[in-house]
Structure 1
Amino acid sequence: MEFSASIQKAFSTAEVTGGGYSEVRDREEPIMSDDGPLTNELHLSKLGRSQWWILVLVNIFFLIAGQAAAVLLGRFYYDQGGNSKWLATLVQTAAFPILFIPLYLIPSSQKASASPSPPSFRILASVYFFLGVLLAGDNMLYSTGLLYLSASTYSLICATQLAFNAIFSYFLNSQKFTALILNSVVVLSLSAALIGVNDHSEGPSGVSKWKYIIGFSCTLGASAIYSLLLSLMQLSFQKVLKKETFSVVLEMQIWTSLVATCVSVLALFASGEWKTLHGEMESFGEGRASYVLTLVFTAVCWQVCSVGVVGLIFIVSSLFSNVISTVGLAVTPVASVIVFHDKMNGVKVIAMLLALWGFASYIYQNYLDDSKARRMQCNVDETRNDSVC
């Protein structure tokens, strides 16, 4: 799964997690942190409320539609005879050049004086290389999980990334562990446990119980590593890049995706899987053209999802982006029932309801944080005699 499925808290300081329209409109001055000023290069305060909501809805659509379509296309690739895990890993980042489009379309701020000095090339390259290698390994685990699981089961297990994220954010990013967050962690863990112990869970045809366990373990491990990756990225933004701009986040995605793509290509050749690709294309159930189009559209869909993730992080907040990304995982099981006729037994339905409960807890915590941030801003405005509350 492309890490851009949500860069949790990439724009947040360790203390602030709320987001919203009022928060963005009030962000006209550099935000100060212990390490220096955090600059915001797009003047979103000039947007009207209706324009702001249109941007939010468009980015939500990109995120959810891109993510759901990519997972379903990945499952379709395996169902029609595809068997290369490294090729499935490669397509998750291979279309990263698409991200250069928004990078160059969005104007950059010329206020260089407010920005801290950039890190050295060596440090920056080391950060991108390490995160890129970790991303490639994480995508490989996701590819293995999707090979042995149905799309609905896979998506329900992926929902645990929100619980893992809360844990890693607590230890690495000083994220507060509230009662609602704890409730979300427990409920999402129970949801994954139900899927894991369900003796009647069915993977794709021909998948043994042992392979099902491997798929479950790989997907669960990938969700944990993905959340760790998000927390490490936040540390990178706070301690190394020390900026809060749209272009910096896009550049992080582009260069880490480049590293992950190179690692995937090398692994594809080192594993010998490249030798089977021609035969795989010839024997693909829907034909050679469908084989190529499936891979191309899978890659494009992951990057469409990436644009939505970055857009929501910048327009609203990183927590909101991560929540929408995880809620989007609940769309995939429903879509998989329609597209692949996956069986939704009672245990899966209960697991989905628990996952939605966990999502709701996280969203409500975001609402509380947002309300608190607005009240604080109103108090600041009142002291300046320019309150609009």
Structure 2
Amino acid sequence: MTTNTIVTQQPQHSRLEKYKRWLRVSLYTILLLAGQCSGTLLVRFYFVKGGKSIWIQTSVQSAGFPILIPLLFHSKKHDKTNVPNNDTSKTKPKLPITFFLYLVFGLMIAAMDLTYACALLYLPLSTFALVCASQLIFNAVLTFFINSQKFTALILNSIIVLTISVTLIALNTESEETKNLSKQKQIIGFFCALGASAIFALHHSLMQFYFEKIIKTETFSTVLSMIFYPMIVGTIGGLVGLLVSGDWRTMGMEMKEFENGSVSYVMTLVCTSVTWQIGCVGMLGLIFEVSSLFSVVISNLELTIAPILAVMVFHDKIYGVKVIAFLLAMWGFLSYIYQHYLDDQKAKEDKSDCLEILKGNGEI
């Protein structure tokens, strides 16, 4: 009688867990898209309205980490009461290894913030978003070597199409919206966007490797730790650059000369800090719940949002070569989405076949 009760309750428990996981993935997706789109808009807004320092933006993008402190303490307290001590003690890396990983990820965050800021200084938002489609190319290659992600026809198709898209953007340097920028600055902006995309993809791949091969635990406190402590390192790196460059001396003047006023200047920087933290929570949550590849795919949904927002907010012009590049980028993005759907369906079928074999053997 007890056995029958367990068997009948198991499907209900499985459905409940599946529903909870779906809610978590949906929440992380919303946080990632809202944080990333808002943060990108605010950085571009800072430069459009008179801001000039890439080091201020580098510091600001990581400086919002203190808002995560209450959530970090809550998640650790939750893990102590819900996760057996043996599950965490066996997989917890040694302190020097943990410190080294925090340092590496923090320096990567600082480099990514710097290159993103530089790209948004010299490129229109719509162009920046299209160049950042290269994240999928870099991620496909890096996950192949780091995370053993297989290449398929759809992924190869996506890489080729996205490469053509980014190449078209690179060749289109004489558009009306960039006529006030020198060709040298446009090239710097383009390669900074490419560099930021490469660092972004490497960060995702290494993060997935960290969760799967090193820490091997599934607690939200570990996810938050990999945001919080590297963000401290990234903030310190940005502040060092701010001090060495001397840009800190110009903050007062920037505030006075900001087109929308000093209050708007401060609010822009504060909101930039907060929105990037929201996006990071969503990003690492998706890595934790699904995979690095899925997180990058969701991140690139911004491709469909950023050009529209750019037209509405900054009056960027979408025409000619950029329209073709946008369509190609969407083609490549949808190829990635469909490949992930096929992988997910295959995983479900394999799991179902395994359960059927176990039932046939009388093990469940």
Name whichever of 353-362 and 243-252 sits farther off. 243-252
Aligned mate of 1:143, from 95, 117, 124: 117
Task: Give the alignment partner of residue 162 of structure 1, picking from 101, 119, 136.
Answer: 136
1:339 to 2:308 alignment: no
Pick the aligned partner of 1:214 from 188, 197, 202: 188
Which of 73, 77, 88 is matched with 2:57 structurally?
88
User: Which position in structure 2 is the counterpart of 1:58?
Assistant: 27
Counterpart residue number, 2:280: 306
Matched position secondary structure for 1:286:
coil
- Of 259-268 and 228-237, the range deviating more from structure 2: 228-237
Q: Does 1:134 align with 2:108?
A: yes
Whichever structure has more helix as a proportion of its residues is 2
Match of 2:235 in 1: 261
Residue 78 of structure 1 is aligned with which of 47, 54, 66? 47
1:184 aligns with 2:158: yes
Deviation per residue, 1:92-142 (Å, 9 max, x gap): 111122233443444213212234242221111111112211221121111
Amino acid at match of 1:64: L
Output aligned runs, 1:107-118, within 5 Å.
Answer: 107-108=78-79, 109-115=82-88, 116-118=90-92
CA deviation profile, 1:17-68 (whole Å, cap 9, x unmatched) = xxxxxxxxx9xxxxxxxxxxxxxxxx9964463x554444333222212111
Relative to structure 1, is the Cα distance of residues 203 and 224 closer, same or farther in structure 2, using a 3 angstrom cutoff? farther
Whole-angstrom distance in 1 between the partners of 2:218 and 2:144: 21
Unaligned runs of 5+ in 1: 1-25, 27-42
Summarize the Cα distance change of 1:299–1:276 in structure 2 as closer, same or farther, 3 Å threshold: same
RCO comparison, higher one (Cα < 8 Å, 6+): 1
Assess, with a 3 A threshold, how the Cα gap between structure 1 residues 327 and 193 changes in structure 2: closer, same or farther. Answer: same
| Residue 7 of structure 1: aligned partner | none
Separation (CA, whole Å) in 2 of partners of 1:219 and 1:199: 15
Question: Unaligned stretches of 5+ in structure 2?
Answer: 1-9
Secondary structure of residue in 2 paired with 1:329: helix
Change beyond 3 A, Cα 1:45–1:87: farther
Partner of 1:3: none
- Structure 1 CA distance for aligned equivalents of residues 227 and 173 of structure 2: 39
Q: Specify the code of the residue in structure 2 equivalent to 1:65.
A: A
Q: Which residue of 1 aligns with 2:4?
A: none
Query: Take 1:223 and 1:303, find their aligned partners in 2: how far apart are those partners?
Result: 18
Which residue type is aligned with residue 79 of structure 1?
A: V
Instruction: Give TM-score, length-normalised by structure 1.
Output: 0.83
- The aligned amino acid for 2:87 is A
1:203–1:212 contact (8 Å) kept in structure 2: no
Aligned-partner Cα distance in 1 for 2:249–2:350: 61
Instruction: Indicate the larger mover: 168-177 or 279-288.
Output: 168-177
* Structure 2 residue corresponding to 1:248, chosen from 202, 222, 227: 222
Q: TM-score, normalised by structure 2?
A: 0.88
Match of 1:23 in 2: none
* Contact persistence 1:62–1:305 (CA under 8 A): yes
